[in-house]
Amino acid sequence: MAYTNADLASRLDFALAVYEEARQLIMSFYQHSSLEVEEKTDFSPVTEADRGAEKLIRERLDVAFPEDGVLGEEFPEKPGQSAFRWILDPVDGTKSFVHGVPLFGTLIGLEVIEGEHRHCVMGVCGFPALNEVVYASEGNGTYWKIGDQPPRRVHVSQVSTIEECTFLTTNMQRWQKIGKWEAYTEILERCKLSRGWGDCYGHVLVATGRADLMVDPALNPWDAAALVPILQEAGGHFVDWKGVPTIYGKNGISVTGKLKDEVLRILNKS
C-alpha cells in the first residue's frame, strides 16, 4: 500500500478546511445580481465562482501537498510525483447555482494511483448554500455535518425493492439521448417516489439514507471521485451502469446494496 492512515487523515483535515474557504468565496457570488455566466465549448455554464473556487483550492494544495497531482473541471491537469491525485469540481450543479437554487455542491475527491490501479479513498461534498458537508475516508465511515452541529455517522437505507424506493435523477432528457427511455420509465412506474433532486445532492441523499437510488446518465471523473468513498463507507455503492466501481464509466449510480442488482438488470436490458 502506497499510503498510510495518517496520509489520509491529514488530507481529509485539509479538504474540510479548504472547503470552508471555497464556500465563503462561492457564497459571495450566489444569488448576486451581477453574476456573469459564460458558456463553455460543451455548452455547459461556468462562472467566476467555479473558476475562483478551483483556483483557491489549487493554490492551497500547492502549499500543503505540492507533490500531489490535481485534476479539476476548470483548469488543466497538474501531474503529481506522489501516489495521490486530487479531483475537484468546485461547483457541481452550476445550473442550479446560476438559477439561485441551493442544491449545488463542492466536490473534493482523492484518488490513489498504484501502478495501473486507481481507486478513490477520500471524498468531501459540501453544500455552500445549505451549510452542510458530507465526507468519508477509506475505512473510517461517512459523516454528515449540518452547520455548527457535531458530525454524525450516516448509512444508506435498507430499502430492498424498486417498489419501496425513492428514485432520483438529474436530467430526464439525457435518458432519451442515450436510448434508455424504457429503462427510465420502468423505474419511474415501479418506484414509490421520484424526484429531480439531482447532481451531487442526489447522490449524497442516498449516502445519508434520505433516498435510495440516484442514476446519472452522464458523468465526468470530477463529478464522481468524491462520491465513491462517501457511498462505499455509508454501506452503499457508487458504480457505473455496468456495475463497476469506477469514476471513468461516463455515467453513475448511487444505490443501496439491496437494490443494486435489480437496478443494473433494468439499465442493461437490450
On whether 89 is known to bind a ligand per the annotation, the reply is yes
On whether 148 is known to bind a ligand per the annotation, the reply is no
- Residue 24 makes CB contacts below 8 A (sequence gap 6+) with none
C-beta separation of 167 from 213 below 8 A: yes
Please give the annotated binding residues for Mg(2+), written as ranges: 73, 89, 92, 223
Annotated binding site: 73, 89, 92, 223
